[in-house]
Structure 1
């Protein structure tokens, strides 16, 4: 049981790294070398990652559930789902969101 719990934690970390590297944030494409710039970028990406996760989770629970595939996993991650919603709000002026994605950036 302990091994399964540990693996679940590891899988969450791997999912986070995948999101940062190739599933929307593409952090490696910056080719930054300066450690201070990398640190600032990583901090910003962590904030964006948390924002996307919260938006995706809210949309999954309250607006439209992510489709479950035959093998039992979601068709897309909560992060990807949230990132798509944020992109729609920011990039499509005529898009009418069902909730305010910016409220997740506030601590209040």
Structure 2
């Protein structure tokens, strides 16, 4: 391709559209799996930048502070994602589908909304029970959500 040797991988997704990955690593045997892992990271950074955390709005430049903020955001992402998974398992109607069949909100967004509402209930109304349930999602055995 344009004078460079590349390897092409293609497959159809669940919508019967093509997913095409091109790599200049000719030894790569499963570029799709590698791309899948990379896509998860891209999704994480997308959430960091504009889908909830707005990390760039902090304008931090000191490396140690940026590092700590990214670590906190990663924890909050995992926390939100885990809450979102449980919320959809317990309350399937929580994840509304658009006309094309894809969810209106991601599991992360659902969990983040619940986490924000729960933290507000704790800090502004003193609802300790909600906070305890949310904190349990940082452990191996979380308590059932009560939405």
TM-score range, shorter chain: 0.7 to 0.9
Within the candidate set 89, 100, 107, 1:78 is matched to 107
Within the candidate set 31, 35, 45, 1:17 is matched to 45
RMSD over aligned Cα atoms: 2.5
Count the aligned residue pairs.
Answer: 107
- Greater RCO structure (CA 8 Å; 6+ sep): 1
1:32 equivalenced with 2:60 (yes/no): yes
1:100: Cα distance to partner? 1.9
Rg: which structure is higher? 2
1:47/1:29 CA distance change after superposition, 3 Å:
same
The whole-number CA distance in structure 1 between the counterparts of 2:100 and 2:42 is 19
Normalization by structure 2: what TM-score?
A: 0.63
1:44 equivalenced with 2:72 (yes/no): yes
Higher strand share: 2
- 2:137 counterpart SS class: helix
The whole-number CA distance in structure 2 between the counterparts of 1:73 and 1:3 is 25
Structure 1 unaligned segments of length 5 or more: list them: none
1:33/1:70 CA distance change after superposition, 3 Å:
same
Structure 2 unaligned segments of length 5 or more: list them: 1-10, 12-29, 142-147
Within the candidate set 93, 100, 105, 2:138 is matched to 105
1:85: Cα distance to partner? 0.2
* Match in the other structure for 1:53: 81
